Amino acid sequence: MDTAPGRIWIKSSYSGHNNNCMEFLTPPPPGKAIVRDSKDPHVRLIVFRASSWTSFVRGVAQDMHGAREELQ
């Protein structure tokens, strides 16, 4: 999927310079979250319901927060 007018692909800040990460489309289409593999951006897109994506991101953030507390 090429970027539609007014939309851009954003790469995760955790990807570094090795292009080994995911990108997400912003702004997303209503009710959806669209991600792709930055190594192979023209092969496949993964489309999530926005509510599912939000739950996933919150879960990851909570796990990361808990892991930081364990390291301290």
Reading the chain (72 residues) residue by residue, the pLDDT tens digits are: 556 678 999 987 766 666 678 898 999 999 999 999 888 888 889 999 999 999 998 998 888 766 555 544
CA distance 53 to 35: 10
Q: Is residue 66 part of a domain?
A: yes
Give the residue numbers spanning the domain of 63: 8-71
Q: Yes or no: say if 49 and 34 are a contact pair by the CB < 8 Å rule.
A: no
Q: Give a yes or no: residue 57 inside a domain.
A: yes
Is residue 1 included in any domain, yes or no? no
- The number of folded domains in the chain is 1
Task: Indicate whether 30 belongs to any domain.
Answer: yes
2 falls within a domain:
no
Q: Is residue 29 part of a domain?
A: yes
Examine residue 61 and state whether it is found in any structural domain, yes or no: yes
